[in-house]
Each structure stands twice: as structure tokens, then as C-alpha cells.
Structure 1
Amino acid sequence: MKRFYVTVALVAAAIVFPSSIPVPHSDTTKVKVDDLLSKMTLEEKVGQMAQVTLDVITKGPNEYVSDEPVTLDPNLVRKALLEYKVGSILNTANNRARTPEKWHELISQLQEVAMKESRLKIPVIYGVDANHGTTYTAGATMFPQEIGLAATFNRAIVKRGSEICAYETRASSIPWNFSPVLDLGRDPRFPRMWETFGEDVYLASEMGKQVIDGYEGDDNNVKNTKKVAATVKHFFGYSVPNSGKDRTPVYISEMELRERHLPSFKAAIDAGAHSLMVNSGIINGVPVHANKYLLTTLLKEEIGFKGVVVTDWADIENLHNRDKVASSHKEAVKLAINAGVDMSMIPYNFRFCDYLVELVKEGAVPMSRIDDAVRRILTLKYELGLFDKPVTNYKDYTEFGSAAYEKVSYDAAAESITLLKNKNNILPVKKDVKVLVAGPNANSMRSLNGGWSYSWQGEKVEEFATKYNTILEALQKELGKDKVVFAQGVAYNEQGKYYEEKDVDIDAAVKAAAGVDYIVLALGENTYTEKPGDLHDLTLSLNQINLAKALAKTGKPTILVLNEGRPRLIRDIEQDMAAVVQLYLPGNFGGDALADILFGDVNPSGKLPYTYPMYANTLVTYDHKPSEEQVKMAGMYDYASDFAVQYPFGFGLSYTTFEYSNLRVSKTSINASEELTITVNVKNTGTVEGKEAVQLYISDKYASVTPDMKRLRGFEKINLKAGESRDVVFKITGRDIAFVATDLRWTVEAGEFEINIDKQKANFNVTETKAFNEVKTRL
């Protein structure tokens, strides 16, 4: 028996530069930054705080549209970099992916101007959203979106995917990545839920640390030209708006902010993340971009964040245009910079620079605030090695888009896919069958990838991903085209909103089912993100529901494949499905991975990283309070508050069975600082090899603040052959089971705690109450 331990816790002339740069000492960087800062004019400093989108400096009819092929406009480049001294460029022209060669051409030209024509020779820092792979580079390796990566419960595969993303982003000559998203996916109505690592604080924190280590390296040496500077976003509380719609207000206590929404960001900051992007929304009536308490007192002073704070898209302007807390754009700049913003993602004009220079001269923004922001930005540029090597060359990255990298993407997709229902063990299906493939997601690479794929909304995926297999194509490859019938039944309107559907021909799909043995029904969502993904109804579309019901009535076993960014309600059709498989947004190899799971070549091992709701008014997370689980009491009404969910957090089936036994603790009582060892035996009691995500939950029985029913406090993904067993060991201390008390301090209180691993339970006591931190101020 093995033991397994885990601790909780203008001419495209290439510029030639040295290929290897020694890592500088931090004090050496500080000397360089201070020396450069002392030479800068106010206008040069303000320019470093400005970031514009690439379309502003390209040839084209206006700042929103570029000509194709995209070409830099020399006059506009010099206006931005020399007249306004702009320090950063982002995004990609016309919202579309470019080849590594094109990226190298464009960024080389920018650095040629910045490094040879500007007074102080300060390089530009280029940033891009590489959210699940290098989003905006043609040929890059696309991984599952974060929600799928969370479902793997596999730290190693998340880190490896992030390493590949960093490598391929640097191969694109881009050193700064606006990723990861460390908001929590606690509301399935939210259109960016799929960009998160799910609803749980611990899971998101652990996965976030893996991404930072993957992007930046374990030592955060981003001068390494295979690494990028990470940007954790969106700080913070962004993902739980009261309406469920993007960029709308949230009302949330500071206790909740600190206990649920801050830990994942703090974990990433502690892991060394170099930059942070601000929440575009409003918390308790105050836009976060104007909230000095959150951006300075909490983030920079209490937590000690030393990196760059960058806005999200046009969010300083939104303080005036949308949120109405600033009477003018100039006042909006004053509010945001004084609140703690270091760089403005403007992105379309230079008014920010003009206003900020005026504000400093008027005394409305102190020079000390400007110097602090610019010092952070220059430090990032030095740490990235941009002064010595402002452009990396795609020719040096021979592994870009390699088969080895694609294998990692496939493995991640395979481990993310979650089997939610398998009536009478209908899966895996034998390969001597004939199947009907139906549904709007059946023959779409777009829906497999989701948003932030080759373009913002993912509408250009089909142009770039033709070499990969849709679900239909993967099944045809697995069984042979003569064994696969295709009748879509419902199709998306690719030109309209993501949720609109056209070409509804359910009868044709029903007729096609006559000669098959099984039906694979791929339902879900088309691509979207941010505001375009807002919805009014969480229920799966009526057309898709009607298609599912009609196919179920044929009597042919129907395997429902959910290809969706958030859990759409399926209550009305779930009982008619022989099997339910959650695909999430698995990337380019999702179709292949699904086929291998359906036919038994791969044993599914994904686990839900969120609670799958059954009703629109039961959007409750697993870590809910006891009062959210009331049941009928004698002589009283039935409250219908029985925590009715479709599938619970952490749930996922396998083609084998796992038996948990012999849960034990190293001691039954600990003080707040002592370590407790928790051990459980896991055995594969089935007939096939399988992977299992072992999940440790702990419940605080009684506390001064109503405790959650249970909280995930540890997890580990293990692989067991048939008949093999293994001890999995977790180690925790009092800090690992603490909560945020009314005084806002992380506190563990004396009392009884219950451990749950699968159906195994054990108890232990904490013998003292202890607070683990000081809180300087509060909201």
C-alpha cells in the first residue's frame, strides 16, 4: 500500500539583443528605477501610466478599425510614443488573432521607436489577454477555459498548461498577460463564470497559485524569456453582482469580501504576481476604480502588493459616463489615480494624459502618487528585461504549437470532462454501434472553445481551428463516417446574439434517429463573454429543450453532452437522459477527449467546480449556511428550502469505483498553531484504472459567526490501478480552518470540528481561540 502526502497550504527590422540576461538583484533594479525616475518630466511620467489599444496607432479609417493586412501608421505611433510618451499598448487589431511573425513585426516596430527615438529610451510594455492559451496568436495551443481546468482538480496540469501559455505568449513577442481570472464563480447567471476556477475559495486559490507559478516561474524571474508577467483579475468581488449581469452593482459585507473574495487574490500576490487588474463593477455604491480603501489601504498597504494596478477597459471613463460618480472625465482621472490606479487602459484616446498633467500641476493629484505609480511600472519593465531585450523572436521558440504541447491540452480536456449521470452504466459505449449526433453544439469548434478564443467573443474560431475535430468529427473518426448520422435539429444564429437560434428542424432529427442505436445530443451555449453574455433566463433554450424531449421519445438511449460556460437549467429533460456529460469549454481537443470518454478509451475523472442548480431560485453554493437548508418541521409549513440542486459541488462519476476507509487523525485535540495530520485510505474497487479527486471537507460545528455547512480544505488527484489502494494524507493547522470574524480578523475559535472525506467522518477539537492577522481599517 502506497502513501501519498499533500500539504494544504514602421519597418519590420528585427532588433538584435542579447539572448540571455542575468537576473538582477532587487536593489539594483531599485537603483535603476530611481535614477530613471529622477530624469523624467511630468509628461513622461504620465505617459508611462497610459495604455492604448493597437487600433489607435494603425492605418485604418478610425481608431476602432484597422486596415487588413494590419500596418502601423508611423505618424500615429510617434504621436502615441513620442508626443504623449505612452508606455503601454494592448490588444490586437480588429479583434483577431495574428501569427507569431506578425506579432514580432508589429512589436519590433514599436520598440524601434520607443528605444531609439524617445528621449529616455524606455521600452513599451505590450499586454494581451491570453486566458486559456495564447488567445490572440494563430497556431497557439488552446486549453480548456478556467472552469474546466478547475474540474480537473489537478494542480500539476494547470501549472503545466500555464507554462506552455507563457512560452507561446513570449513566442508572440508579448511579455505581459492579463490572466488569471481569480474571481469566484458563485453565481451561474454571471456571464464570466466560465472564466473562473469555480465557486470555492480554496480551489480557486490553489489553482491561481499554479497559474502564477506557471506563467512567472517558481522564482518569479520574468526576465526569463519563456515567462510572462501575470495579471490577477478582477480585484475583487466582481463576479457576484446582485442582478447576475456583468458590470452591475454588488452589495456585500466586508466580512464576505475578505473571507470569500480576497483569499484567491492574496494567494496569487503571495505567489509573486506582478500586476493586478481592477474590478469593473461597483461595491456597496462605490466603483472599485474610485475606491481608495480597496486599492490603496487594503491592497497596497495591508496586503503589501508591490506590483502594477491596471484598470480594465475604459473604466476610468466609466466613472463619468456610466457610474456618475465623476462630473467630468477629468474628475474621473483624479478619483481613479488618487484611489490607487497605476495604469489606465484608456484605450482609444490621449485625454487621460492631458487631464492627469493638469491635475498634478493644479495640486489635485500629488506628485508622490505619480512617482509611486511610475516606479511600479518601470520596475515591471526592468524585471521583464525589456530594457535589455525589448522583443523576443518567434524563431527562438521551436516548441510553439508542438505536438507535445497539444498532448497537454488534450490531457487537460480529458481530465476536465465530468460524468454527471450514467444510468445502468450505459457508458462507455461499444464501438460496434451506430449513433445519431444532434444539437447546436455538435459540429462547432466555436462552442468548444468559448469566448477569448482567437477573438474577444470567440466568433472567429472556425477560421483558425479547422484542423481540429468538432464533436461530430471526433465521433466520425472514432466509429467511421458510415456509423455516424448527423441531424443538428437546432442551430445558432452565428450573426446575431449568442443565444439566438435558427434552422430549427426537430422533426428531421427525430427521423434520423430511426436507424441508430444511441443518440449523442450536444446542447449548451454559443460563445460569449462579458456584457454580450448577459441573459434573462438561466434555463436552457426552449428549442433545445424541445429537441431533447423529442429525441428522448424515440426510445433510443440519449447521451446528453453539455457544452456550456455556466450551468444552464436542465431539470425538465435530465430525467429523460440515459447519461449526462459536462464538457464545459474544453478547447480544441474537447471533441477528441469526449469521444475517447464515450467509448471507454479514457476513464472520466472530472468533478464539478460549482453547484449545478435545479431551479432558478435555488442558486446556492455548497458552502452555504445551515439556514439555507431548512426542511419541513412538525406543525409548520414546508418552506421548499431543501437545497434542491441538480448535482452537488465536487461531484463526478467514473467507470470504476473507489472505496474510502480508515479515516484517522493524528490527534483528537490541537491548539490553534499545531499541525493535524488527516489520513484516509482510497482503493480502486473496480475493474479499470481510474483517477480520483480526493476532497477534504471540514465543518466548524459552532462559531460566533454562523459557520458554513462545510468547506473544502484540501484536495489531491490520484491515479489508481484496479485493485490498488493508497493512503492520502492531509496536514492542516488552525489557520487553515479559520474564518473572518466580526472584527475582520481571520480567527479560529475553540470548539469541535468535523472532517468529511467521501462518506468517512472524524472529529477533532481546537483548544484555544486565536486571531491570525491585524486589520488596519475597514470599509
Structure 2
Amino acid sequence: MKKHYLLLLGTGLALAAHSQTLTPPARPTPPVAAATNADKAKVEALLKKMTLEEKIGQMTQLTLGVVADGKPGVEEATLDPAALQKAVQTYGVGSLLNVVNHAVTVDRWGQVITQIQDAAAKTRLKIPVIFGLDGIHGQTYTLDATLFPQNIGMAATRDSALAHAITKVAAAELRASGVRWNFAPVLDCGRQPLWSRFPETYGEDVFIGKTMGSTVIHAYEEDGLRNPTAVASCMKHFIGYAAARTGKDRTPIYLPEIELREYYLPQFRAAVKAGASTVMINSGEINGTPVHASKYLLTQVLRKELGFEGVVVTDWEDIIRLHTRHNVAPTPRAAVAMAINAGIDMSMVPMDYSFPDLLKEAVQKGEVPMSRIDDAVRRILTLKYKLGLFENAYPEAAARANFGKPEYQDLALQAAHEAMTLLKNQDNVLPLKKDTKVLVAGPGAQSISALNGCWSYTWQGKEEQWYPANSKTILQAITDKVGAGNVITTTVKGYDSDANYDTTALKNAAANAAVIVLCLGENAYAESPGNIQDLVLAPNQVALANAAAATGKPVVLVLSEGRPRFITSFEPKMKGILQAYWSGRKSAEAIADVLFGDYNPDGILPYSYPRSMGEMVLYDRKPTEEIREIFNSDMTMDGYKPLFPFGFGLSYTTFSYSPVTLSSTTLKGNDKLRISVTVTNNGSRDGKHTVELYSRDLYASITPNMQRLRGFQKIDLKAGESRTVTFILDKNDLAFVNADLKTVTEPGDFEVMIGGEKAKFSYSL
């Protein structure tokens, strides 16, 4: 597949293949930038006709289960006409979301959306309903939709063009289902690997998060929201959600504002500039203030500082929790008033009608001004106009034709291929020969859910009966690759089945095998059900790894996991380690292709793979984290000592770098600096390779990081081929947040690093 790399990778930063700067491809103006004058006029005219109850209804979002027929034996996506009438006609509910329990067919979605919009067409003002879903790595809730790698796997690809391509498919299949609002992408910075939503992030680095995030938002919206290939995106969760102190979902965050602005705000700033139509708010609290109650964050920072003009929606049940969990609102009505006054436009209530009833009371008692209501409803109506819902709220035939195209599976395989990250290849145990007798063991060997993870046809992703019938397990993919006669297994279906952890069976079976492929990691989970107390793998998995190593046969460990789980105790005993993440529909095929050499791995880590709980140091560490000191004479510089470092990933070929060359050793004012390096594929195999540019500020008013990622480019080199890669930096790429909470670039000396090569320059005003 021909690839066109996105060249706008950061403020002031461009990348170029060979040695020239390429012009970025032209993009349409992001559709969220401004409503048309016609839309604005229609919104204002409609707003003047609306009663208080109709306005509050638009601000209300309910889950589909509220209007579904819950009688035993009735299909779960069947709607209850009376319940639908109450929601849409009596209360004027402006938005619905979610499924009842599992994905449904694209045709069933068409029927559901049609029924909902039929009900809306019978209301006084005929305002259509906007339906939203969590399409986190593809259209999660339509059967047979294409699932791609989770964001953490896409970050491992370091391929922005690929992220753009898979997002176009996700948008097409959402729109084909009649859904025009997607609650994605997650822009939380994954700097706490205990967090159960870690796989939804782009990892620990700010630059990858803002680059991938803005790319994805462009892809969702760039065609124009009236177009049947586009959907409204939702940047989430504003802000700092991933920084929970314990890693538990929806628990307190203690975050100095300087850290919030350095590591968590840039992704949202970039997303706003990219044209995100909506934003979902962090369910937690920061420094004791729930974000849903923070006028500073929602109005001062999000609206005024970032200039966001779209819709602000809560997460699940978060307004009432200001009263029931956070205990900052003494009554439910006080919670509603607090959130709306802080800047919330729409409440994901989602199970009852408490929100509209309480908000009406709050307005009538003068606790919420009408200006705030009008402000929120104006944004919601504007979004509906821009999505073309007033023109045609029903599922579109042109969109339906874009569902399930065969080429989507090719793209899913490409994405899974590029995510695969080879962490260890001792004695060149990989690739395996196809006539090798292989024992496939471990709980992941026959698990489809452990290859896809959360938000996969169900919320948790564990219910395998809803996956496409032709989904393959690792065992099946390996068998297809080398033939049943070369494969032995001790596994059964069911991740938690005792048979998958039978060390005696593994020992006995290994006698007839030349190599063991051991499939460990995590089964699917989402949100709070994925909370864990530490990163250590379950004891039965550790025991299985030790038993496999004790057979004396070489062991290749395949990790299918959403976050890095500790393997430190048995890693030395593994000959090969492949990090597969949760890489979607084609994970198993991609794993088999890498293991047997039909694909040369090129993924690299988007996080630092920790060694232990006492080694949770991130790649962009501070100088004092680099130093280990007992007495001065015992000082060492190995404070950053992960099991595998950020950006690490092996290939079946080797790449070398020339010395780094700079266009100048000085950078002044608004000038630009050209940084070049020549990369050579020294091996006998073709291969893709990510070239990464890091910088270091040698001295600054705030302790500088040891390194920060400033750019990346993925290139494809034939065996023996060389290519010059050029990065262009300006002062904005060197900026940081200072003690006054201002983003500044200070004069001084800097160092740039590419592939172990370094060069220095100085910056002056």
C-alpha cells in the first residue's frame, strides 16, 4: 500500500524524507472551526422558539437501555415505544448513547436510529436526536465492524498516516451504522501504567499523544460533518484523568499545574486546533476539585485559553456524583447547578430523568442563569446542524455502502503488523522455521478477547460470542502458517480455564516440541473492572513461564496485554519476547507472520517497560532521577533502568546512523534549524524503521528533562539502502512550562539525539 506520511507533527516541526523539506499535504479547514452563517441564523431562530423544558431536554443524554424493551426474550436493541415517547417527546432528550449489552448488526442499527428519529420528528420543533458511541479502536458496537489496534498499539507503529487511514474506516463504519458522534480519541497521557484505561492512551509521551491525536481528529472530521464519511470526534478526558495517584479508575489526582500544563494540556491544545467538535470531561478530581465542578478548567482554560467552541459533555453519571461520591455538592440539585455553571453543556445522566427535572428547578430558583442554558443549547444545536441532522437525520444509503469493505481487513492487518514490537531475540531464535515443531501454550493461545481488549463488540470485550466468526486465535494462525502436523498445544478456550495453566501437561508436551510459544498477558477489561493492585502477572502465569523455561526448550514469549505487566522474574529465561499489545481483528495473523518471518517487525515501545514498582521512571526523566547516589563516590548514572526503554524495538535486519548534521550551530529568534541524519539498512532483509529526534535543554530555569521526543518519521528501506532523514526545529519545539506557568523557550545550549548520535547548538533571542 502506498503511504503518504503526515508532515505536520508538532508546532513548527516538519519532517522530510531524503534531504529536502516536503510541503505538507493540503487539508480542508476543520469543520468545527466555525458554523456557517446560515447555520448560525437557524440556530438563533430555533433557540428563540424553544421553551425552558425543550432547552434542558437538549442538554440531556440518556443511555439506550432507558428506551429499550427489557422484556425477557425480546431482542436487546428493540425499543419500547412508550419509553421512547417519554424520552424524546415528553422530555425532549437531545442525545442517546450506548448499546444495551452488546453490538448489533448494521441493519439493526439502521432500524434503531430510524425509530429514534421518527419519534423526534413528532416533537413540536422536530429537533433530531444525536446518537453517540465509544468507537475506541473501530466501530465497537456494530457486529462485523473492523477493529484495529488500541491506541497504545497505534503509538507503537509511530505511523501517523496509518492512524489517519484506520480512523477513516472507523468513521465510515460508524456513519454506516447511523451514528454521527464518536467518543474518541482518548488523549490522556499514559504515564501511570496501573491505570485501567492505559491501553486507550498513546503512551507516556506528550509529542506522540498530540501528533496521533490531532491526526485522528482530522481524519474523523476533515471531510466535513455533513459528509457520510465523517463523524464528530470527542477529545477525552479533559484533563489529567490518567494521572490517578493509585492508578484506579475515577480516583483522586494530585497534579501541580506546571505538570498538568507540561504533560497533559498540549494534546488537548493540539486537538482543539485540529477541529475537535466535542470534549468529554475527566471523571475524577484534581487537587480536591472534581473537574466537572471546575470553572477554572472548563471555562477559563478550555474555553478562553484553548479557544474551544464545541460541546462539553460529561462522562457516565458524573454530575450526580458531585453529590454522591465527591461530596462537594450538598444536594443533587446543587450538583447540577455546580456543573452547568462550571461549563458543562450536556449531561450523560444516563439512566433517569433526574437531570432535566433538577436543572429546571435550578433555573427557576435563579441558581443557573438562562444565559448559561442558551449558551449550552446553542452549541448542541450548532453541532446538529453541522452534522446535517436537520437535513436528514436518518441512516444514509451512501454511508451504509461503506460498511465492511474487504480492504478494511488488509488495513487491519497492516496496523497489527506495524504494532508488533520485538523486545528480545536472543541467539536469533526468531524468526522460526516453518518446519519447526512448536508447542503453543498459555492462556492467550486460544483467546480472541485477549487480542482485542476493551470496547470490542461489548464494553469489556470478553464475550467472544460476539466477535466475527472468522476471527483467529494465535493457535489457529500458527497452525495455518506451518500446518497442524507441526503444532502441539496444551491449551483450551477460556482464558481462565485451569487447563491453560497446567504445568505438568506443558512439561510433557514439550518433550515433542523444538520450541515453545508461550502466550501470556491480560484478558480484556475496560475502566474500573480493569483496576489492579500491582503490575505483577498472576502467579499461575509466572509459574507457567518458569515451567516452560525448565523444559530446556527455547521459549518465545508473546505478550497480549493492554499495559506493561512485570515479567522481570522470568525474562532472563525467555529466548524471544514479542509485545503484541491488543492489536485488533488481525492480531493473531500478525503475530504468526512475525514469529515465522513473513513480516519483519518494526513496532517500538510507546512507554518505558518497567522493571519493578521501584523502577517507575519515565523516559523524559529529570537529571536527579538519572543519578543514583549513596555517597558521592558511589554515584552512578543509571536511574532510568527499565526492563526495556521507551522507543525500543528490534528488527530482523540492522540499521546504522551517520553522524548528525546541523544547518547551523546557532538558532536565533524565529529561525529554523535543519537536522539531518543518514540511515542505512545494513542487513539482508528489507525493513521499516522509525527515526526519532530527541532534544535536551542543557540548562534551564526549570530543571530540564534528560530528553524529550521532538519528531519521528517511519521509513521503509530495502536491504543495503540508505536514506537521509531531515527534521526542522524552531524555538517552539524547544519550549517548556516555567515557574510562572508560561510556555517559554529560554536562550541557552541544547543537544539533539538521533539513534545514539548527538549534536549541539545554542539558541538566542
Tell me which of 159, 168, 175 is aligned to 2:173: 168
Query: Which one-letter code corresponds to 2:144 in the other structure?
Result: G
**Secondary structure of residue in 2 paired with 1:159:** helix
Question: 2:118 matched to which residue of 1?
Answer: 112
Counterpart residue identity of residue 96, structure 1? H
| Structure 1 segment 752-763 matched on structure 2, within 5 A | 752-763=749-760
The residue that corresponds to 2:51 in the other structure is: 41
Greater shift in the superposed pair: 233-242 or 616-625: 616-625
Unaligned residue ranges in structure 1 (runs of 5+): 10-20, 495-500, 769-779
* Structure 2 counterpart of 1:506, one-letter code: T
Q: Which residue of 1 aligns with 2:11?
A: none
Residue 240 of structure 1, CA deviation = 1.1
Deviation string for 1:304-332 (max 9, x for gaps)? Answer: 10000000000001111111111111111
In structure 2, stretches of 5+ residues that fail to align are 1-16, 26-30
Give 1:593 shift. 0.5
C-alpha displacement of 1:469: 1.0
Per the TM alignment, residue 491 of structure 1 is displaced from its structure 2 partner at its CA by: 5.9
Tell me whether 1:388 sits opposite 2:391 in the alignment.
Answer: yes
Alignment of 1:70 with 2:73, yes or no, is no
Deviations 1:415-439 (A, max 9, x none): 0000000001111111111100000
Q: What is the correspondence of 1:446-461 to structure 2 with a 5 Å cutoff?
A: 446-461=449-464
Partner of 1:612: helix, strand, or coil?
coil
Instruction: Provide the C-alpha distance between the structure 2 equivalents of 1:231 and 1:25, rounded to a whole number of angstroms.
Output: 17
Structure 2 partner of 1:82? 89
What one-letter code is carried by the residue in structure 1 that aligns with 2:549? A
On the 8 A contact 1:524/1:562 being kept in 2, the answer is: yes
Structure 2 SS opposite 1:315: coil
Write the deviation string for residues 339-391 of structure 1: whole angstroms up to 9, x where unpaired.
10000000000110011111111110011110110000000000000000102
Q: Which position in structure 1 is the counterpart of 2:669?
A: 672
Distance in 2, matches of 1:611 and 1:246, equals 21
Summarize the Cα distance change of 1:490–1:538 in structure 2 as closer, same or farther, 3 Å threshold. Answer: farther
Offset, 1:533: 0.6
- Which amino acid in 1 is paired with 2:312? V
Name the amino acid aligned to 1:719: D
Match of 1:587, SS state, is: coil
Partner of 1:776: none
1:736 has 2:742 as partner: no
Matched, 1:58 2:61: no
Task: Give matches, 1:502-517, under 5 Å.
Answer: 504-517=501-514
The 2-side partners of 1:341 and 1:468 are apart by 41
Letter in 2 for 1:26: T
Q: Which whole-Å CA distance do the structure 2 matches of 1:128 and 1:491 have between them? A: 28
When normalised by structure 1's length, the TM-score is 0.93
Q: CA distance change for structure 1 residues 92 and 25 in 2, over 3 Å: closer, same or farther? A: closer
The answer to whether the aligner puts 1:98 opposite 2:104 as a matched pair is yes
Q: Deviations over 1:18-77 (max 9, x none)?
A: xxx9x996221111111111111111000000000001011115xxx9942531111111
Which residue identity does 1:111 align to in structure 2?
Q
CA displacement 1:100-137 (0-9 Å, x = unmatched): 1000001101101102x101110000000000000000
CA RMSD of aligned residues (A): 2.0
Alignment correspondent of 1:14: none
Distance 1:70 1:138 in 2: 13
Secondary structure at 1:187 match in 2: coil
> 2:28: which partner in 1?
none
Q: CA deviation at 1:488?
A: 2.7
- More divergent stretch after superposition (745-754 vs 388-397): 388-397
Partner in structure 1 of residue 259 of structure 2:
256
SS of equivalent residue, structure 2 residue 501: coil
Alignment partners' CA distance in 1, 2:34 and 2:666: 47
Matching residue within 605, 609, 618 for 1:608: 605
What are the superposed Cα offsets for residues 664-692 of structure 1, whole Å, 9 maximum, x if unpaired? 11111112321111111111111110000
Which among 560, 577, 582 is matched to residue 580 of structure 1? 577
Provide the C-alpha distance between the structure 2 equivalents of 1:459 and 1:6, rounded to a whole number of angstroms: 45
Measure the CA separation in 2 of the matches of 1:457 and 1:257: 29
1:427-484, CA deviations, whole angstroms, 9 ceiling, x for partnerless residues? 1111111100000111111100001000100122343233121100000000111111
Number of the residue aligned with 1:777: none
1:179 paired with 2:184, answer yes
How many angstroms apart in 2 are the aligned matches of 1:240 and 1:113? 42
Q: 1:358 to 1:472 in 2, by over 3 A?
A: same
| Deviations 1:247-271 (CA, angstroms, capped at 9, x unpaired) | 1111111111111001111111100
Describe the superposition over 1:167-223 as per-residue Cα deviations: whole angstroms up to 9, x where unpaired: 000000000000000001111111110000111000010000111111112x6x111
How far the C-alpha of 1:83 sits from its partner, in A, is 1.0
Distance in 2 (alpha carbons) for counterparts of 1:322 and 1:89? 24
SS of match in other structure, 2:506: helix
Q: Secondary structure at the match of 2:241?
A: coil
Separation (CA, whole Å) in 2 of partners of 1:325 and 1:361: 22
- SS of residue paired to 1:761: strand
SS of 1:141 mapped into structure 2: coil
Secondary structure in 1 aligned to 2:248? coil
Equivalence map 1:450-529=2 (5 Å)? 450-488=453-491, 492-493=495-496, 504-529=501-526
Shift of residue 2 of structure 1?
Answer: 4.0
1:313 and 2:316 matched: yes
CA–CA distance in structure 1, aligned partners of residues 177 and 623 of structure 2: 50
- Could you tell me how far 1:5 is from its partner in structure 2? 4.2
* 212, 219, 232: which one aligns with 2:235: 232
TM normalised by structure 2 equals 0.95
CA gap 1:670/1:24 in 2 versus in 1, 3 angstroms: closer
> What is residue 12 of structure 1 aligned with on the other side?
none
- Residue of structure 2 equivalent to 1:773: none
Listed one character per residue, the Cα deviations across residues 251-308 of structure 1 (whole Å, up to 9, x for unaligned) are: 1111111110011111111000100000001100000011110001110111110000
The answer (yes or no) to whether the contact 2:171–2:230 under 8 Å persists in 1 is: yes
Evaluate the alpha carbon distance shift between residue 90 and residue 631 of structure 1 in structure 2; reply closer, same or farther with a 3 A threshold: same
User: Any conservation in 1 of the 2:420–2:578 contact (CA below 8 Å)?
Assistant: yes
- The partner residue of 1:681 within 678, 687, 708 is 678
Percent identity among equivalent residues? 50
Is the 1:415–1:604 contact (alpha carbons within 8 Å) kept by the matching residues of 2?
Answer: yes
How many correspondences in the alignment? 743
**Of 262, 266, 271, which aligns to 2:269?**
266
Aligned counterparts of 2:22 and 2:514: Cα–Cα separation in 1: 45
SS at match of 1:646: coil
Deviation at 1:639, TM superposition (A): 9.0
Are residue 211 (structure 1) and residue 208 (structure 2) matched?
Answer: no
Q: Which string of whole-angstrom CA distances, capped at 9 and with x for unpartnered residues, describes residues 729-751 of structure 1?
A: 11111011100011111100000
